[in-house]
Amino acid sequence: MSPTTPSNPQPDANPTPRHLMAKEAKGVMKEAKQVMRRKVLLGNAMSMTEWNNEIAEEAFLEAAARIAPALTASQIPDRDESCKKLSIITTTVHGVFKKEAWRVLLNHYSLTLEAGDTRSLTNHREAVIAPLLVDHGYLFMNSTIMSPVNHPAVVDTIYHSIWSTLLHEVLDFNKLNDLDDLFSIRGAAVHNTLLEFQEGMYKPVQFSPTSSSGREYKAIQAHNTIVCNTPALYSASHLIKQDMIA
């Protein structure tokens, strides 16, 4: 993947005055953060670290071309440091979905019991969670029927993750087909959280596609592709997205 470059860059021989560069640099960074959040949400949430860094640079250059087209990339101060900060956004987005997954799952599956009843809580969690992890059962209201991802716990996690934060600001809800990857990243976060409840151990939502979270993310992406290519499933998926943003 090759980073894009700002359109119509101006020669360095006539640089923008330094005070203007600093002012525009702030605008570039603000826009770049939004661009990076959008890229993560819509298809790059489980990229390798090197690829994530490239995506961050793409976001930076895209924002620079939009906000400060009169500047070359080299004229914008602290470019490398800015890209490093942008790359961290992927982890931040993971954290938003993971936090919401904890809240939704605790409530939806009654995974908390009265204090002091640790054995009952452990048995309850095992009885509830183990079946959900078989054949991606936690994704569907009825795992025996082919359908789009439609479990309320899953949809609620997406809804609250984007609407209780500013993430909704970077999404275009007129393009519902672009939102499929929200189900993928949410699925990875929910799956990751279910494993935590089952095993009693913290599990970070990792970048690596080879992690359990990454494999789940790819599996849901593959399922979404089948849904998009099946008219009846596509229509059902479209309705779920409409209800989610209403």
Question: pLDDT tens digits, residue range 125-138?
Answer: 888 898 999 889 99
Question: pLDDT tens digits, residue range 88-114?
Answer: 999 899 889 999 999 999 888 887 755
Instruction: Report the Cα–Cα distance between both ends of the chain, in Å, rounded.
Output: 36
Question: pLDDT tens digits, residue range 39-91?
Answer: 999 987 777 778 889 999 999 999 988 988 877 767 777 888 999 999 999 98
Amino acid found at 191: H
pTM: 0.81
State the Cα angle at 117 between 114 and 120, rounded to 5°.
110
Residue among 24, 96, 120, 94 nearest 66 (CA): 24
Check residue 235 and report its DSSP letter: H
* Amino acid 106: pLDDT: 87
Of the ranges 128-132, 137-141, 194-198, which is most confident?
137-141
Residue among 89, 24, 33, 23 nearest 60 (CA): 33
- What burial class does residue 26 get, using C-beta atoms within 10 Å of its C-beta: 0-12 exposed, 13-18 middle, 19+ buried? exposed
Amino acid found at 215: R
